[in-house]
Every structure is written in structure tokens, then in C-alpha cells.
Structure 1
Amino acid sequence: MASMTPMKEDYLKIIFELGGTKREVSNKQVAISLNIAAGSVTEMVGKMAEENLVVHTPYSGISLTQKGTELAVVLVRKHRIWESFLVDKLGYALPDVHDEAEVLEHVTSTKLVNSLDTFLWHPQHCPHGGIIPDENGHFDDYSHRVLNDAEDGQTVVVDRFIDNHDLLTYLGDIKLDLGDKLHVIKHDPFEGPVTVENLTDNKELSIGYKAAHYIFVK
């Protein structure tokens, strides 16, 4: 049995988040999302491949095995149900829930998470738009396209955000919300910002390169 460390769990959750149950996710995307060096990603992914949690195809990407998917689904479910509880029932601010949920998910039994789920009337999404798998591990398909990949001239809708404290604080500051309609104006070169017109608020925004990898659109 593979020994699970918090870091390994973070990898499983982020690969799931980026769509790794359906397609290959690049090392670069994982590195940007977890805010770590690309070299560290290669090393960890190598270990996870040995433990049959992921399949890694060099120069192509990483995807979750069935075993990796099953573990990721359990982690994501616990984490996001706790986030829903903290925001909906305890009035937590969105940027503050991730760290609390991270601690709680590790001490939560299946029975407790299922009881919480029932108490919350089986939420389908967590407060930042992430999908919540049901108790049988089923979940609807979800968008794994990031804002940075949207083309100039396209209009997209903000679907969900990666669970990152600084990001959620930043999005609060620029008033970008789930469901906002964005018209993509331009991508600045050399990892520069993406300029968009927020059609919902009628406001032009310049969104940083990294943040544009943390915002999923459909």
C-alpha cells in the first residue's frame, strides 16, 4: 500500500482538478497550480507512477490511474464538503476555508462525511465551484480549461477557481465571481497578463499569468 503524505494528496487533488481523470495534464500546469518548481513535480510524479497512482508519459503529461482516481475522489469529496460547511454554516470567508478543510479532511471518517453531506442537502459544488463527488464516487463532467488557454476574441464564463488563498483574495479584490462572462481581449507575451472585458460588471480587467491558470472557464 502506498504511504500517503499530505504532499502526495495535494498532487492527487490537483491532477484531479486539472482533469487528470479524463486527459493528460502537463507537468507545467501542476507546477504552476501547486506553486512549486517543475523539477520537484517530475520527481514526485515518478514516485507516484511507481505506486500506480498516475501514468506519466514523458513530454505528454500525467493522468490518474483507477487507483489514483479513487483516492483523489475520496480526498476531494471530504475537502469540499468541509468547505461547503465552513462557508454555508459557519460564515467563513472563501479565502480562509482551504487550510481548515485541509486539516479536517485527514480526520474525517466516511460516516462523518456522508452525514455532513446529508446535513448540507448534498451540495453538487463547493463554494469556489469545484465539483463534489457523491458517496459512490460519481461526479458530473466538469470544465478543465483554464482562462489562459482561451483565445483572443472568445467569450467565456467563469466556472470555478483553484483553491488557493492568495488567488481567492486577489479575485475578491478585482471582483471576479463565478458565473461572470468574460470577453478575452489579449494575452501579453512573455507570461504577461490576460486582458479581459468582464461583461457582467462592464469592466476591463488585467489578470496575471499565474492567476489565469487558476481560473477555469467554459
Structure 2
Amino acid sequence: MTPMKEDYLKIIFELGGTKKKVSNKQIALSLDIAAGSVTEMVGKLVQEGLAKHTPYAGISLTKKGIRYAETLVRKHRIWEDFLVDKLNYDLPDVHSEAEVLEHVTSERLVDSLEAFLGNPTHCPHGGAIPDKDGHYQEDSHTSLADTEDGSDVSIERFIDNHDLLMYLHDIALQIGQQVTVIKHDPFEGPVTIEVKATGQRIPVSYKAAHNVFVK
């Protein structure tokens, strides 16, 4: 399987494609690619039995696709945890390293890393880590962009994307922050939130708000 197909499986998994239909637009926003490219790759995943596509509804992973995605995500996120926790990498810098390492990691090695790290349940950007039997706590799939004005929410996780993580670092948005959603500006404008602990108001860009998940 090509790295690009694997990236699609992982992003569909991150967006909730194990339980619900994910739109082409969501995938395009998260991978920062054209919608036309998504349509082409979705067709390939369907042909290989890794995904199901319903016109005008979206795409979800098959059992085969879920198993493959869980294996990839587990290796990727355990390496991210190791790089941040043991080697003091900055969060925005771990994705590219973990992307390389996941492809050369045996089941024995990932099991040993998991035990060495104390069996972590979540990676540094908040995503659940499946254990070797495929068990994990289901992530929230409610994006900041889809949260109503006036809602009080907790920042739970971010999509694993270098540019996104750099942007969120710059605006000081962090996992675990309690925030109030103030307003959604029209015409794909930012979502303004207020951090409860400080009262600081932060405008979060339209694209970023679709890749930040809350509960």
C-alpha cells in the first residue's frame, strides 16, 4: 500500500470514519488537498475493500480498513509519544518522524515501546492509541467548527498535521483548555473562543477549527 493511501486511511479514522460517514470536504480540509484528489483516492479505497462510499453522504471504513488504520495509527502515535516524552521533541515536529518510523516498526517493537512508555492511551495531540488487541477509548468527533455559539467545551485533540500544530502553537491553543465558543464569523471566517482560565479571546481560522475536536 502506498503512503498516500495510508494517509487517507489514518485521516478517515481520525475524522470518525469507523462510526460515521466522513465527507470529502472534511478529508480535503484535513489533508490540505483539492476535493478532486479526494474523489479519486476514495474510489481506489472502495475498490480495494478498505472503505464504503455513499453518494452525497460520505465515506466510512470497512472492517478491513479499520483494522489497517488501527495498526498504522497505533504505531504512529506510540512513536509520537516516545519522541515527545523521551526525546523532548516539540509537538509540531513529531509527525514527520513518526511517519517514517511507523513503516519500519515490527509488532514486537511496537509492543515493547508501548510497555516501555507505560501503555499510553493517548498521543501528545490527544488522539486515542489502540492497544495490540484493537481496544481504545473512542475520540470525540465534534469539531470546534461545528460547535454552537455560547457552548462551553474542552479542547480534546488536534488532527495530526505539522502546519496545523505550528499554527495552534502560535495562537497558544492547548489540549485540555476549557473554552467558550463566542462566535462563528460568516463566509469561512474564524471561530472566536474565550479561554476560561485567562479570559483571552482567540480567533481560530476556519480550516483549523475543522481540525480541532472538543467535548
Same fold (TM over 0.5): yes
Note the 1:75-154 alignment, pairs <5 A.
75-154=72-151
CA displacement at 1:201 relative to structure 2: 2.7
TM-score by length of 1: 0.97
Equivalent AA in structure 2 for residue 56 of structure 1 = H
Matching residue of 1:20: 17
Moved more, 193-202 or 43-52: 193-202
- Paired with 1:142 and 1:176, the residues of 2 have a C-alpha distance of 19
SS at match of 2:155: strand
2:199 pairs with 1:202: yes
CA displacement at 1:166 relative to structure 2: 1.5
SS at match of 2:135: coil
CA RMSD of aligned residues (A): 0.7
Matching residue of 1:71: 68
- Paired with 2:111 and 2:52, the residues of 1 have a C-alpha distance of 30
Matching residue of 1:172: 169
Moved over 6 A (4+): none
Query: How many aligned residue pairs are there?
Result: 215
- Paired with 2:174 and 2:166, the residues of 1 have a C-alpha distance of 12
Equivalent AA in structure 1 for residue 163 of structure 2 = D
Q: 1:160 aligns with which of 152, 157, 162?
A: 157
TM-score by length of 2: 0.99
Equivalent AA in structure 1 for residue 28 of structure 2 = A
- Paired with 2:71 and 2:171, the residues of 1 have a C-alpha distance of 33
